[in-house]
Amino acid sequence: MSSAGLPQGAVPKLERPGPLRDRVYEALLGLITTRALRPGQHLVESELAGHLGVSRQPVREALQRLNTEGWVDLRPAQGAFVHEPTEEEADQLLTVRTLLEAEAARLAATGAGEADVEALAEIVAQGLQAVAADDVDTAVALNARFHAKIIELAGNAVLAELAAQVDRRVRWYYTPIARQLGRRSWVEHRDLVTAIAGHDDEESATRLMREHTEHTRRSYRARDES
């Protein structure tokens, strides 16, 4: 397994102020969810500290927190490794995501205004451009923005809190299949925007979001079979 070597330009600058251990945690979590640090990769404290320009202590504290949250595995006598998600873990999370986002789409269809629909349509346009340019990183970021906007338009604080808890893991699973999903995913997004713009078409919005998120779940499960 490889150590904590990182692609050029992948390491974020640590934001200030705030406890250093929290900033290191956010930086490492960002690198994991975008897969700059890949599942199974060995995380060497001294190397990470050097990349981030900090001492080893906040890195150690951040790795312990990431271990508690399931992002990192701490193995006795071996060190820290990025967690390798099991098929069951991914399937369970993406199933929950389907339930949350289908309800969010239904609620969004009841209250989205013209400006909201235009904002969604603009994200879709940018997403289609990113796919056409084979810019996977931008497409992944725009996908997250699109779904976050749907959650926002739902106007349900509890739903938003639950969705936030799974958002980063969803991005973790989505990234390796983003190119495979390609244009089809953004066509599905465009259909969702049309349903939400209809206001009284709650049933269609719910169905389309359920089909869309289920497509992502099935694609993740089938990613190694092609």
Q: Which 3 state secondary structure label does DSSP give 82?
A: strand
Q: What is the pLDDT of residue 3?
A: 58
Q: Which of 139, 137, 223 is nearest to 189 (CA)?
A: 139
Question: 101-130, pLDDT tens digit by residue?
Answer: 999 999 999 988 999 999 999 999 999 999
How far apart are alpha carbons 23 and 5 in whole angstroms? 20
Residues 145, 123 contacting (CB under 8 angstroms): yes
Q: How much is the pTM?
A: 0.76
Give the amino acid at 20: L
Residue 200: pLDDT over 70 = no
Residues 44, 5 contacting (CB under 8 angstroms): no
Q: Which of 38, 51, 17, 33 is nearest to 167 (CA)?
A: 33
Q: Which of 165, 154, 161, 162 is nearest to 120 (CA)?
A: 154
